[in-house]
Amino acid sequence: MKKLRIIKLFTLAAICAALSSASAVTLSDKDKQFLSGYEKAHTALAADDLSGAKAAANDLGSEGAELSKSSSLKEARTAFEKLSAKAKQLAAGQPGYYIYYCPMLKKDWVQTSTTTANPYAGKDMVGCGQIQK
């Protein structure tokens, strides 16, 4: 009876491990390109670099159109916020991506570093935010 219980526990553990590894969906090349462009835009906005954010929009496909037309950091950050919804979906369950939240601005974003780099506040409050994932 004890051996049967041990076998059941190992079987259950193997099933759980298989399910957890299957939960991370493999990203398409298009999705990887989007996340790469998103990360470039994130980095630029955290550094208050409007031209860098606009240049990163080229890697975002049609979704980057609004960002590429931004004439101010405020407009670019508004466009970036819309892109963050898609980035959060794509990054969910993917290793190396972290979802951050800024409680002061009530906004979230995705980044690949564990060092907070707030794209909505830029240099003024670059460290404001916390990992949600």
Check residues 44 and 11 and name the one with the higher pLDDT: 44
- What's the rounded Cα separation, in Å, for the pair 118 and 131? 11
Residue 122 DSSP symbol: G
- What's the rounded Cα separation, in Å, for the pair 51 and 43? 12
pLDDT-derived band of residue 20, with 50, 70 and 90 as boundaries?
very low
- What's the rounded Cα separation, in Å, for the pair 1 and 23? 33
Q: What is the pLDDT of residue 25?
A: 74
Q: How does pLDDT run across 35-76, given as a tens digit for each residue?
A: 999 999 999 999 999 999 999 999 999 999 999 999 999 999
Strand, helix or coil for residue 110: strand
Q: How does pLDDT run across 84-97, given as a tens digit for each residue?
A: 999 999 999 999 99
Q: What is the pLDDT of residue 9?
A: 43
pTM over 0.85: no
Q: Which residues contact 114 (CB under 8 A, 6 or more apart)?
A: 98, 131
Nearest to 60 by CA among 38, 78, 82, 77: 38
Q: How does pLDDT run across 87-125, given as a tens digit for each residue?
A: 999 999 999 999 999 999 999 999 999 999 999 999 999
Q: What is the mean pLDDT of the chain?
A: 87
